[in-house]
Amino acid sequence: MISEHDAVPHDQETIMLKTIGLASIFVVGSALGLAGTASAVRLTSALTVGGSAASNVEAVRMHHRMHRMKHMRRGNPSARGWKRNF
């Protein structure tokens, strides 16, 4: 008993919910300290928009930095020369 009028907004709503779901995943990730808020935002923008090559490279760079930070937090300063590559 769904009219054509109801169908279109519902579709948009589900798309919005999916997008919000993705965004919340990144928010949770940054809250856990897996990624800085800035890097999370940059990664989402690179993924959603498909991003220009430059922004994509930047996102990857932020991603790698985040992994180096994880090693640092474990008290392992020799995590592949993170100081040199910072």
Which of 33-36's residues contact partners 24+ apart within 8 Å by CB, and which partners? Answer: 33/73, 34/66, 34/70, 35/62, 35/63, 35/66, 36/62, 36/66
Percentage of the chain modeled with pLDDT above 70:
7
Answer whether residue 53 shows pLDDT above 50: yes
Count of alpha carbons within 13 Å of 14, Cβ hemisphere only? 5
* pLDDT-based confidence at residue 65 (cuts at 50, 70, 90): confident
Q: Can you tell me the distance from the alpha carbon of 59 to that of 25, in angstroms, rounded to the nearest whole number?
A: 17
For residue range 10-37, what is the model confidence (pLDDT) as tens digits?
666 666 666 665 556 555 555 455 445 5
- Note whether 64 and 81 are within 8 A (CB): no
- Average pLDDT of the chain to the nearest whole number: 58
Please say if the pLDDT value at position 67 is more than 60: yes
